[in-house]
A and B are shown apart, each in its own frame.
Chain A
Amino acid sequence: MAMTANDFTSNDPIAWCPGCGNFGILTSLKLALARLGTQPKDLLLVSGIGQAAKMPHYIKANCFNGLHGRSLPVAAGAKMANPNLTIIVTTGDGDCYGEGGNHLIHNIRRNLDITVIVCDNQIYGLTKGQASPTSDPGMVTKVQPEGVSAQHLQPLALALAAGAGFVARGFSQDTNHLAGLILAAIKYKGFSLVDVLQPCVSFNKVNTYDWYSKRVYKLDASYKPTDLNAAFARSLEWGDRIPIGVIYSRDKPARV
C-alpha cells in the first residue's frame, strides 16, 4: 500500500514559532519519505542542536538528536555500522556550516550514502538572533550592532569544492519542489546536500518570505546539473537572483 505523509507523523508536539520556515521543510520531508516508501523502522534521522535539529522528533522514524555541530559524525558512524539504515541529517546553517564545518568537509570526502538537509535561515534562531556563517554582510544583530563584517559563506560552492556528488538548493515555501529535491537527494547513492532557504520569522527581519520569493528562480530543463563548472557558477549566484533546484548531480562510487 502506498504510504502518505501522515505515516511519518510523530505524536511529539511541535515547538517552533508560528510561521517558521521549518514547517514547510517538515512537510516536504514527510512528502519525500512517503514517495520513497522506506519503512520508518529503516530510517534514521540524525540531528545536532538548533531549531532544525528538533525536526527528527516530529517525524516517525528512528532519531538520534545529538550535540551541536556533531550530527554528521554520528550519522557517519551509524551508516558505517549499519548500512541498511537510510540516514538523513536535519541541520541548520549554524550547526552544519559553523560548529560542524570541519565535519561537513570530511563527510563529503567520505561519500557515505547520507542525505543532509540544511535549514538555512541565515541567522541563529535558538540563541535568539546572532549572525550565522550565511548571514549577509551588513545585517545588524545584537552581537553585530555595526552589521555583520564577515563574508557570506557559499555552502554549495564549498560542497562542490570538497567533491560532493549531489548538491541542491530549495525554498521552504515551495514544498512540492523541495520534496522533489529531497527525494532525489535520498535516492542519490552517496553524500547529498540540500541547502534550504528558510525564513526565520522571529529574528531575521531581512531575509523574509518576501525577500526570498522575489529572488528565487527554478533551474529549467536547459540546465545540465552534470557540468561542474556550470554548477560552480550557479552555486555562487546570490543577491538579486538565487537559483533553486539540483545544482549538481553526478554519479560517483559511494562507500556504503
Chain B
Amino acid sequence: MAHEVSIRITGEAGQGTQTIGDVLCRVFKAAGYHLFAYQDFMSRIRGGNNFFEIRVSTRPVHSPRHKQDLILCLDKASVDIHKKDLATDGILFLDRAASKLAALEEPMFDVGFDEISMRIANDRLYINSIACGLIAGVTGIDFSIVTQSLKEVFARKSEAVIQNNINTSRAGFELGMENPHKEMFTLAPGAKYDPMAHAPLLLDGSEAIASAAIQAGCGFYSAYPMSPSTNIMNIIAGRSAQHHIVVEQAEDEIAAVNMAIGASFAGSRAMTSTSGGGFCLMAEGVSLAGMTETPIVIVDAQRPGPATGFPTRTEQADLDFVISAGHGEFARVVYAPGSPEQAYYLTMQAFNIADKYQIPVIILTDQFLQDSIVDTAALDPGRIPVARYVISKQESAKISGYKRYALTDTGISPRAIPSWFDEVMYADSDEHTEEGHITEDAAMRKQMVQKRLHKKLHGLLSEIEKPTAVNVENADVILLGFGSTLGILQETTQALEKRKVGFVHLSQVWPFPSNEMLRLLSDARMIISIENNAQGQLAKLLRRETGIKVSKSILKYDGRPFCLDCVIDIVKPEL
C-alpha cells in the first residue's frame, strides 16, 4: 500500500498528455485523494516533449517531487528524456512496437497502446483513455470512477465515442491490475466525502483568478494573448455572456491597459492580464492609473525573460520591476499569491483595494502557479464582500460642485462616475488641480504628490496582507519566499519539522510588510531565501526595506519550478 504516488505522463505536444492529466486529476479527486499537478510544456503546438505530472496522496500536497513512481511515455523520445527521473522501484510504461525498441530494460513495461486501441475501437484515437485506465488500475482506483470521469470529460462527444473511450480504458485498467508491481503503487483508501458537505475543487491559478474576477463583479476585461496569462482571458471570455462581462482582445498590451482604464473611468470594474513582456508595454498605463487615480487590476503571470525568454516556463524575476514599473511616484499594491486558493481571495481583494484607493493593483503570479492544479476546499466568496467605493447612482443625484481630485485627509477623493450625475468631471494625466484641469502650480503639485503617494500609502499600510509564518519562533533556519513557492516552503518545513525549520511567505510584496518582517525575522538565527530568480530579489528587497540580511539564497533560474526533494537536500546540511 502506498500513501503517495508521483506520476508523469509524457509525450510530444499534441499527443494528449494534458487530456490524460485532466482525466486522472478528476479520477483521483473523485476517489478521495489529495493531489498536486502541474504541466511542463514547450512553446510549440506539435512535436517536442511535454509532460503532465500528478502527485497523488492521502494527505494534502502542494509541490512536485523530483523522482517519479510511474512514468508513462507516449513516444520514444520521452523514454530517453525521462527514464533518469524514475524512482528506485518505479516503473515506466511505453508502447514497445510504436517506440521501435528492440529490448526492454528492467523497470519498463510494454503497453500496446496502438494495438489495443485498434483492436477494441478500430481507431488509434483512444491511447489516452487506455493510459488513464492503466494508471487507475496500477494505483487501485475503482473503475466506476474512471467511467464517470470519462463521461464528464467527453460529455459533448457522441454515445459511441464515449463507449469506445470506456471500453479501451477498461483494457488499460485490466493491464494495470495485472501488473506484478502493482501492490507498491496501490493507494491506501482515500477520504470519503460527506455528500452533504462541499466537495473540494480542482483549482489551478488561471481558474482561480478568472473565477474571482467574475465573482468580484469585473465588468470589463481586455488583454493581448501572452503565455502564461492567456488562460485567464480564455476562461473569462467563455463565461462573459452569462455574467455580462465585456471581453476585448486588444491590438497590443498598451491598448489593453488603456482600454481597461477607460472602462474603469466610465464605471466598470476593469482588469487586464499579461506576462512580463506585455507588462513592459503596460508600464505607462500603470503610471496613468496612478496619476488619474483610476482603479485597475493587472495580472503579471511571470515567465523567464529577458525579452521573449522562455514563453511557456516559469520564473519570479519581475519582482523588482513590478514594484517600481511606471514613471513617477504613486501608491500601488502588489500581491503575490502562493496557491490557487490564495490567488482567488487576493484577486477578489485586489478589486476592492483598487476601488477603495483608486490605484493600480498588480497580482504577480508565474507559469508554475497559473498551471498548477491543487485540490482546494470549497471557496467562500462571502469572505471578501464586494465593496465599490463609488458614489452610487442614487447618491449621485445630490452631487454639487464636484471635484474629481478633491483634497482630503486620506488622499482619497469621492469617486463619481460620468453620466451618473448632472455635472461634468475632468480627469488628467498632466498634473492637475482639484477640478482636474492642467496646472503648473508648485504648491498644488506638492499637495497632489502627497495625496497620490504619502496619504494613500498611509492607509494602505494598515491593510497589508500579513505574511504566512510557521514555526518561526526558536527556528534554527527560517525559509523565506514569495508567490508560487508557498507549497515548497510548507512541505520543506513539514518534512524537516523535527529539525527546527520554519518559514515566512509573503503574499503581498508591495507596500512591503516591513513591520511584520522586523517582528518575525529580527531575531532569526539563519534566513534562507528560496526564489525562482538569479539575484535573490526578495532578499535584496528585504534588506532595502528592513536592513535584515539573509544568510543564503537558494536560487533557481533554469525556467523550471523547484521540486520538494531538491530543496530539502539543500536545506538539510544547514541544520
Chain A residues within 8 Å of B, Cβ to Cβ: 12, 15, 40-44, 46, 49, 54, 56-57, 60-67, 70, 72-82, 84-85, 102-103, 105-106
- The answer on a CB contact under 8 Å between A77 and B270 is yes
Chain A residues with Cβ under 8 A from B428's Cβ? 57, 63-65
- The answer on a CB contact under 8 Å between A41 and B262 is no
- The answer on a CB contact under 8 Å between B424 and A61 is yes
The listed residue (A41, A62, A65, A85) touching B429 by CB distance below 8 A is A65
Q: Known: A15-B438, A81-B263. Contact between A62 and B220, CB under 8 A?
A: no
Chain B residues with Cβ under 8 A from A62's Cβ? 418-419, 424-426
Nearest-Cβ distance from residue B7 to partner chain A, whole angstroms: 45
In the assembled complex, B32 has its CB within 8 A of some CB on chain A: no
- The answer on a CB contact under 8 Å between B254 and A41 is no
Please name 17 further chain A to chain B contacts, defined as beta carbons within 8 Å, in addition to the given A66-B262, A79-B262, sorted by A numbering. A41-B421, A44-B418, A57-B428, A57-B438, A64-B262, A65-B438, A66-B429, A70-B254, A70-B288, A72-B255, A76-B255, A77-B270, A80-B248, A81-B268, A81-B270, A85-B419, A103-B255
Nearest-Cβ distance from residue B288 to partner chain A, whole angstroms: 5
Closest 9 CB pairs of A and B: A77-B262, A77-B259, A73-B258, A74-B262, A81-B263, A82-B266, A77-B263, A78-B266, A81-B268
Nearest-Cβ distance from residue B46 to partner chain A, whole angstroms: 30
Q: Known: A73-B254, A81-B246. Contact between A63 and B261, CB under 8 A?
A: no
Nearest-Cβ distance from residue B437 to partner chain A, whole angstroms: 5
Chain A residues with Cβ under 8 A from B169's Cβ? none
Task: Using CB atoms, name the residue of chain A closest to B428.
Answer: A65
Chain A residues with Cβ under 8 A from B261's Cβ? 66, 74, 77
- The answer on a CB contact under 8 Å between B258 and A77 is yes
**Contact string against A for B residues 205-228, beta-carbon threshold 8 Å, 1 for contact and 0 otherwise:** 000000000000001101000000
Interface size on B, residues (CB 8 A): 43
Chain B residues with Cβ under 8 A from A103's Cβ? 251, 254-255
Q: Known: A74-B258, A103-B255. Contact between A85 and B288, CB under 8 A?
A: no
- The answer on a CB contact under 8 Å between A65 and B254 is no
- Give Cα distance in the complex from A44 to B265, angstroms: 11
- Give Cα distance in the complex from A20 to B563, angstroms: 66
**Those of B422-468 within 8 Å (CB) of chain A:** 422-430, 436-438
- Give Cα distance in the complex from A82 to B270, angstroms: 12
List 9 A-B pairs, Cβ < 8 Å. A41-B419, A57-B428, A75-B262, A76-B255, A77-B258, A78-B263, A78-B266, A81-B246, A102-B252
- Give Cα distance in the complex from A106 to B259, angstroms: 12
- Give Cα distance in the complex from A209 to B270, angstroms: 45
In the assembled complex, B260 has its CB within 8 A of some CB on chain A: yes
Task: Using CB atoms, name the residue of chain A closest to B261.
Answer: A74
The listed residue (A41, A42, A67, A105) touching B288 by CB distance below 8 A is A67
Chain A residues with Cβ under 8 A from B265's Cβ? 64, 74, 77-78
Chain B residues with Cβ under 8 A from A72's Cβ? 255
- The answer on a CB contact under 8 Å between A81 and B255 is no
- The answer on a CB contact under 8 Å between B248 and A54 is no
Nearest-Cβ distance from residue B110 to partner chain A, whole angstroms: 54
- Give Cα distance in the complex from A73 to B219, angstroms: 16
- The answer on a CB contact under 8 Å between A57 and B426 is yes
In the assembled complex, B292 has its CB within 8 A of some CB on chain A: yes
In the assembled complex, B267 has its CB within 8 A of some CB on chain A: yes
Task: Using CB atoms, name the residue of chain B closest to A57.
Answer: B437
- Give Cα distance in the complex from A228 to B137, angstroms: 67
Task: Using CB atoms, name the residue of chain A closest to B416.
Answer: A62
- Give Cα distance in the complex from A63 to B433, angstroms: 14
In the assembled complex, B75 has its CB within 8 A of some CB on chain A: no
Chain A residues with Cβ under 8 A from B284's Cβ? 67, 70
Nearest-Cβ distance from residue B463 to partner chain A, whole angstroms: 27
- The answer on a CB contact under 8 Å between A67 and B251 is no
In the assembled complex, B250 has its CB within 8 A of some CB on chain A: yes
- Give Cα distance in the complex from A54 to B419, angstroms: 21
Nearest-Cβ distance from residue A4 to partner chain B, whole angstroms: 17
- Give Cα distance in the complex from A46 to B292, angstroms: 13
Chain B residues with Cβ under 8 A from A79's Cβ? 262, 266
- The answer on a CB contact under 8 Å between B424 and A78 is no
The listed residue (B255, B266, B418, B430) touching A73 by CB distance below 8 A is B255
Chain A residues with Cβ under 8 A from B256's Cβ? 73
- Give Cα distance in the complex from A67 to B423, angstroms: 24
Chain B residues with Cβ under 8 A from A66's Cβ? 258, 261-262, 288, 292, 429
Q: Known: A73-B258, A76-B248, A105-B251. Contact between A81 and B220, CB under 8 A?
A: yes
Nearest-Cβ distance from residue B71 to partner chain A, whole angstroms: 46
- The answer on a CB contact under 8 Å between B251 and A12 is no
Nearest-Cβ distance from residue B291 to partner chain A, whole angstroms: 9
Chain A residues with Cβ under 8 A from B255's Cβ? 70, 72-73, 76, 102-103, 106
Nearest-Cβ distance from residue A81 to partner chain B, whole angstroms: 4
- Give Cα distance in the complex from A54 to B429, angstroms: 11
Chain B residues with Cβ under 8 A from A74's Cβ? 258-259, 261-262, 265
Of A63, A73, A102, the most chain B CB neighbours within 10 A belong to A73
Chain B residues with Cβ under 8 A from A75's Cβ? 262
Chain A residues with Cβ under 8 A from B417's Cβ? 82
Chain B residues with Cβ under 8 A from A78's Cβ? 262-263, 265-266
Chain A residues with Cβ under 8 A from B427's Cβ? 63-65
Chain A residues with Cβ under 8 A from B437's Cβ? 12, 57
Nearest-Cβ distance from residue A211 to partner chain B, whole angstroms: 31
- Give Cα distance in the complex from A152 to B534, angstroms: 48
Nearest-Cβ distance from residue B282 to partner chain A, whole angstroms: 11
Chain A residues with Cβ under 8 A from B285's Cβ? 67, 70
Of B264, B421, B422, B428, the most chain A CB neighbours within 10 A belong to B428
Chain B residues with Cβ under 8 A from A73's Cβ? 250, 254-256, 258-259, 262
Chain B residues with Cβ under 8 A from A106's Cβ? 250-251, 255
Nearest-Cβ distance from residue A163 to partner chain B, whole angstroms: 14
Chain B residues with Cβ under 8 A from A64's Cβ? 262, 265, 292, 427-428
Task: Using CB atoms, name the residue of chain B closest to A76.
Answer: B259
Chain B residues with Cβ under 8 A from A81's Cβ? 219-220, 246, 262-264, 266-268, 270
- Give Cα distance in the complex from A73 to B249, angstroms: 12
- The answer on a CB contact under 8 Å between B436 and A77 is no
Q: Known: A57-B437, A62-B424, A77-B259. Contact between A82 and B419, CB under 8 A?
A: yes
- Give Cα distance in the complex from A189 to B108, angstroms: 68
Nearest-Cβ distance from residue B157 to partner chain A, whole angstroms: 35
- Give Cα distance in the complex from A70 to B288, angstroms: 11
Task: Using CB atoms, name the residue of chain B closest to A73.
Answer: B258
Nearest-Cβ distance from residue B57 to partner chain A, whole angstroms: 45
**Those of B368-427 within 8 Å (CB) of chain A:** 417-419, 421-427
- Give Cα distance in the complex from A84 to B420, angstroms: 10
- Give Cα distance in the complex from A103 to B253, angstroms: 11
